[in-house]
Structure 1
Amino acid sequence: MKTQSADLNGEAIANALSLHWGIDGVSLAYVPLGFGSHHWVANEPYGRKWFVTVDDLEADPAGRTDTESYDNLSNAFRTSEALRDRAGLTWVIGPTPTRTGDPIVRLTNRFTLAVFAYLDVEPTEFGEFCILADRDEAMRLIGAVHNFTSSVPLDALRRDTLNIPKRAGLHEALSTLDLDCDSGPYAARSQAYLRENADLVLRKLERFDRLVRLATDDPRNWVVTHGEPHAGNVIRTRTGDLVVVDWDTVAYAPRERDLWMMVNDANPDWSAYRDITGVSSLSQAALEAYRLHWDLMEIAIYVSWLRQRHGQTEEMKIAWSSLQQYVKS
């Protein structure tokens, strides 16, 4: 997150690092990064660094209970550990286990804590790959993950259903567009924008619903997927290695869940993935379904945020800008 939560206490984080990981005497520096988790760099007195991530269980967009959200995150990270340790995919950057082997701990009833090796990486942002060679290498890395599906325990792994978190709230917003909304500085303008574009959003939802059945009809070909292998999560270190981070969205799903971010009209070539997996074809319906799913998921989340009480924060500024982007994409 760009803004540090007032509910998070640096002393509590430092104490948890000492208790669960044996990392003592750290100084913490908040990192305004991403749009979901809270991040710090933890500096040990003798120079070693760690990347610390705190997730808010109450902010789970899928609406899971705190316990369900905790279990889902823990299982996702255990999957990344299996890919790294069992399959030998060393570029999978999973969490550093605690003294008792757990990938995360509860910092409080509401927040979880995970620790990662600190990486010195080149600056990067969410979105498409600027360099085609990086895109091809990313497809090979993701293809290797898919190839090693049999190395991962699947019983506890989430099965993707293409559910749109907060969809009910989006439908409610679309059905009450004549009402005034004064929940914050972006409320009235987002309400007006949604009113102007309601038909476009409804058409996206209708098209998506038709595609979902085609995209998920044959689970025999499903694989372990990362979920968000964009240029912000497939990153190059200063030593030149490409690594994959942010494994919290792992799920068992059609391979197109990963590939839609890399294969599109502008860059249709997916031979790098085909060569490493031997897959001869992709489902165009699944690619489009996952592309629409992303757009609608973002729209539903941002509408929810902007209808709630909010202030003039960097997150709300991004939410308002992103809502317009995804409605028209």
Structure 2
Amino acid sequence: MEERPSGIRDSDVRDALRAWGIDPVTLEYAPVGFGDYHWTATDTRDRRWFVTVADLDHKSWYGEGTEAALRGLRDAMDTAVALREAEPDGRLDFVVAPVRTADGESVRGLGPGHAVSVFPLMSGTAGHFGETLTPHDRALVVDLLAGLHRTVPPASARALPPEFATRPQLELALGELGNPWHGFGPYAEPARHLLADHAAALRHRLDEFDRRAGELKAASAPLVVTHGEPHPGNLLRAGERRLLLDWDTVGLAVPERDLWLVVAGPDDLLRYEESTGRKPNPSALALYRLRWALNDIAEFLTLLRAPHGPTPDARQSWNALADTVRTLAAEA
């Protein structure tokens, strides 16, 4: 996030790092990503760290409330650590997992509504969400996903249904289009008008989602370990290696949960099938593509139907909401 979290000071982060035995010489806020907050640190031994502070109020896919969110985040981070540690042959060396505290924890609470985890700061070139992968990069990422999907699931990995936890917020917003959304902030009313213009198309896409989710459940396809968000923004290029960051969405699901974000055509699908023996399901690919867009709309609406100002993060949410709604409507 570009904006710092309210109520979390650098000194709070510095104090939290003691659980990892890290005494920072430098600690700087890093305005990157969207959703979580990040710092970079260099300690007295000249080791460099990437520190993530999660806002537990915005982790609804783990369950209701901050306690459920903390448990879910801990399961996800424990899963990433287990994946990294489980393969001594290096097959999963692309997993950028958190380091454990002296007490063996992968994540620790920070105040009443946040949690902190610590990662080694990796060298490489970070990708950007929305960029187009080259055929070479796609092949490398398809291969690492195939390796991930063949892995025996750690005990901490949760099964994740296709339904998205933010759907009630989207349904609520669609049901309140007749009344002005005053009192929230500058982007609330534009968001209401946007949804009103495309309400029929959005409801049609929700019906499509329900149909495809029902078909997937009826098929009872085996579940595998999935990353959840293997897009270029979570990809780090280190020479010929490709590393995957941000494992807070890891969980058990069908492979298409990952694949739709990477594959661009029949060659990529065939490469995956030859590596795993599993043929990707076109309807499941379409389901998870649609799920991503609907969930994004719900999350952006949640932010814009809450108190906000004309900040960079609010403006980014409004622009992304408008693009996503119009794209979904055009495809209806």
Q: TM-score range by the shorter chain?
A: over 0.9
Partner residue, 1:292: 290
Partner residue, 1:14: 14
Q: Secondary structure at the match of 1:197?
A: helix
Partner residue, 1:207: 208
Structure 2 CA distance for aligned equivalents of residues 59 and 231 of structure 1: 22
Shift of 1:111: 1.1
Superposed CA offset, 1:173-214 (max 9, x none): 212212111211111111111111111111110100000011
Within the candidate set 297, 304, 307, 2:305 is matched to: 307
**Residue 202 of structure 1 aligns to which amino acid in structure 2?**
R
Identify the range of structure 1 (45-54 vs 226-235) with the bigger mean alpha-carbon deviation. 45-54
Shift of 1:132: 1.3
Contact 2:24/2:41 (8 A) holds in 1:
no
Shift of 1:116: 0.4
Partner residue, 1:36: 35
Contact 1:128/1:231 (8 A) holds in 2:
yes
Partner residue, 1:78: 78
**Residue 76 of structure 1 aligns to which amino acid in structure 2?**
A
**Residue 14 of structure 1 aligns to which amino acid in structure 2?**
R
Instruction: Assess, with a 3 A threshold, how the Cα gap between structure 1 residues 42 and 168 changes in structure 2: closer, same or farther.
Output: same
Contact 1:145/1:224 (8 A) holds in 2:
yes
Task: Tell me the TM-score normalised to structure 2 length.
Answer: 0.92
Shift of 1:218: 4.1
Partner residue, 2:256: 256
Identify the range of structure 1 (224-233 vs 20-29) with the bigger mean alpha-carbon deviation. 20-29
Shift of 1:124: 1.7
Structure 2 CA distance for aligned equivalents of residues 30 and 249 of structure 1: 23
Partner residue, 2:273: 274
**Does 2:179 correspond to 1:168?**
no
The percentage of aligned residue pairs carrying the same residue is: 34
**Residue 187 of structure 1 aligns to which amino acid in structure 2?**
A
What are the equivalent positions in structure 2 for 1:74-113 lying under 5 Å apart? 74-87=74-87, 88=90, 89-113=92-116
**Does 2:228 correspond to 1:230?**
no
User: Structure 2: any 5+ residue segments left out of the alignment?
Assistant: 328-332
Q: Secondary structure at the match of 2:300?
A: helix
Q: Secondary structure at the match of 1:216?
A: helix
Within the candidate set 131, 143, 154, 1:140 is matched to: 143
Identify the range of structure 1 (44-53 vs 32-41) with the bigger mean alpha-carbon deviation. 44-53
Partner residue, 2:243: 243
Q: Secondary structure at the match of 1:142?
A: helix
Shift of 1:258: 0.5
**Residue 13 of structure 2 aligns to which amino acid in structure 1?**
I
Task: Tell me the TM-score normalised to structure 1 length.
Answer: 0.93
Partner residue, 1:59: 58
Contact 2:96/2:244 (8 A) holds in 1:
yes
Partner residue, 1:192: 193
Partner residue, 2:330: none
Structure 1 CA distance for aligned equivalents of residues 53 and 75 of structure 2: 16
- Superposed CA RMSD in Å reads 1.7
**Residue 99 of structure 1 aligns to which amino acid in structure 2?**
A
